[in-house]
Homo-oligomer: A and B are copies of this chain.
Amino acid sequence: MMRVAIKKCLLGLMLSAISLICYAQQTSLITQKQRFQIDRFKTFSGETIKNVAVGWESYGQLNAKKDNVILITHYFTGTSHAAGKYHPDDETAGYWNAIVGPGKAIDTDRFFVISVDSLANINAHDPNVITTGPASINPDTGKPYGLDFPVVTIRDFVNLQKAVLQSLGIKKLYAVAGPSMGSMQAIDWAATYPDWVDRMISVIGTGQSDPWTTALLERWTVPIKLDSNWRQGNYYDTSPPTDGLVAALTFISQDALHPDFFNALGQSTLDFSPLESGPLNDILAKHSIVTWLEERAAQRAKYMDANHLLYLVRACQLFIAGHNNDLVSAVKGIRAKSLILPSATDLLLMPYQGKQLHQQLEQQGKQSQYLELSGNLGHLLGVSDIQQQSEKIKLFLAQ
């Protein structure tokens, strides 16, 4: 019985590969998607995008002084659904629901918590996501942009968040916090708009995309670009490159995990064996663990757009805090207190990356605290097991 329960829990964790949380859902937080629109948005690279729309959601109440705002910035395959449910009967809540809610680490009784869908959000076809990217209609042509969409950066996500906040009359962030790609946004906020940011929480993050990370991220684009359905991004009136997208998602899933978890899962749930008879007798057959990864990726791919994945990879590859090719001077500008929370078993953005940022902050006399998440989930710890640092986050926000 216990084994079945553990299996179900393990399966659940991987099923979304990101968000189902083995943690009591103690919330009755209900949220809804809001829409923000801007006629012309100028990108960091100098291009102008017309009619930009993004979704956002919030939890808790904005106070009269508008000084109780915490911005949550989402990860690569995530959305602005950071916490709560849209309907009480939703199966799952937002990905950081374990730490965002009434009385939780990020206490919605006290804070107005807000999150914004990124540009080129990968979940372009999720009805709960509003984003502008290559799959959007280019007003100049009446057709989807495809690769005519300009390259966008983490800074552009930040600037759009700033526009959303300003539209609400907000001029200051009590804190900004995010995991993975969300950490890039949080750090860029602190480096670029130091007057805005009092506290910054970087979870499973990095201060820059180093050569290793850039090459690793590039791999996620390879299956899409090789899929003959991709057609240089022009697939919106034909079949999309689903095989390539699914393969890319299997890469992402494995990169976000660690062998300790993955092997336990394979052995306990799939009765995996190296010498499975299918693969032994047919070069095109696949091992159970591979099929399993692909099936789950295919489920997730239904709401995703392949070009959007390419654009998100590029945004991450281009990332360096402050976006000026110089981490030292970017850190110089930071006024926020920082809390750096890598995962000890992370193989995607390894702890050395958070540590480098923390050390740079300390060297320059900034207030920075470094703590590692522990467990065998790898990178995913920062999303699915963030509650293990609830007390530290609460304490950090109280300072």
Contacts and interface: CB of A to CB of B under 8 A. Distances in A.
A214 B274 contact: yes
A109 to B, nearest CB: 39
Majority secondary structure, A binding face = helix
Interface string A251-274: 100100001001101110010111
Contact of A218 (B151, B275, B290, B324): B290
A151 B280 contact: yes
Contacts of A132: none
A154 to B, nearest CB: 10
Given A151-B282, A284-B147, A263 B218 contact: no
A247 interface: yes
Given A274-B318, A350-B259, A45 B215 contact: no
A209 interface: yes
A28 interface: no
B259 A212 contact: yes
A82 interface: no
Given A147-B283, A290-B218, A263 B210 contact: yes
A: contact size bracket: 35 or more
A219 B251 contact: yes
Interface stretch (A136-144, A161-169, A309-317): A309-317
Interface string A361-391: 0000000000000000000000000000000
Given A259-B352, A318-B274, A350-B259, A216 B254 contact: yes
Interface stretch (A59-67, A195-203, A222-230, A332-340): A222-230
A310 B284 CA distance: 9
A166 to B, nearest CB: 26
Contacts of A30: none
Interface string A231-249: 0110000000001100100
Contacts of A319: 274
Identical chains bound together, number: 2
Contacts of A282: 151
B286 A310 contact: no
A55 to B, nearest CB: 23
A224 to B, nearest CB: 9
A317 B287 contact: yes
A346 to B, nearest CB: 12
B45 A281 contact: yes
Nearest to A257: B212
A320 B153 contact: no
A274 B311 contact: no
A88 interface: no
A284 B311 CA distance: 10
B153 A280 contact: yes
A83 interface: no
Interface of A: 45, 147, 149, 151, 153, 208-212, 214-216, 218-219, 222-223, 226-228, 232-233, 243-244, 247, 250-251, 254, 259, 262-263, 265-267, 270, 272-276, 279-284, 286-287, 289-290, 293, 310-311, 314, 317-320, 323-325, 347, 350, 352
22 contacts: A45-B280, A151-B283, A209-B274, A210-B267, A210-B274, A211-B262, A212-B254, A212-B262, A214-B272, A219-B251, A222-B247, A226-B226, A259-B352, A273-B325, A274-B319, A275-B318, A275-B320, A275-B324, A276-B318, A283-B310, A283-B311, A287-B317
